Amino acid sequence: MIENSLNMHEAISDFLQSQTVMTMATAIMDEPYCAPCFFAYNATHQVLVFKSDRETNHVKNALSNAQVAGSVLPDQLVKGRVRGLQFSGVLMNIANPENPSAAAEVHPPEAYITLADAKKSYYKKYPFALAIPGVIWIIRLHWIKFTDNTLGFGKKRIWELAAAHADE
């Protein structure tokens, strides 16, 4: 079944809203790197928002190659109830309108998130982060594979920016 909508399936959105840590993977010059990051999901714009210093390996890599991937697992793991998702997308520095990765994106105007909206999403979830230096970044999601064995063994749902695919 294919959903003819740019909107993410509610189960995926709810899962992202309820979690706190993603693993973000980057690659540059054939060298992969991954880093755990606190994140907030902005459902209106379907982006992951996180805060990190420009000098971290994952941000430096993503500034050279904006294509990123990652995963989100539940904060509380339960054996036999596998849940989690894999994603791919593009890192964007919304504080810098000259960001080449942002300029290359082709999305309808309502898809763009402002820095103020991104900060609101992140600091609402992590108010303590106001005291921590860093830059707010977003990942514009392009693809997600959500696995939820609580709905039956091997139950997966695929979402893509162009269209949402349900029940693999």
Distance between CA atoms of 94 and 8, rounded to whole angstroms? 22
Domains of the chain (ranges, CATH numbers): 2-165 (2.30.110.10)
93 pLDDT band (50/70/90 cuts)?
confident
pTM score: 0.84
Residue 104's contacts (CB-CB under 8 Å, 6 or more residues apart) are none
* CB within 8 Å of 19: residues ≥ 6 apart: 39, 41, 72, 73, 74, 75
- Give the pLDDT confidence score for residue 3 in this predicted structure: 38
| Residue 107 pLDDT > 70 | no
Taking residues 133-137, what's their average pLDDT? 94
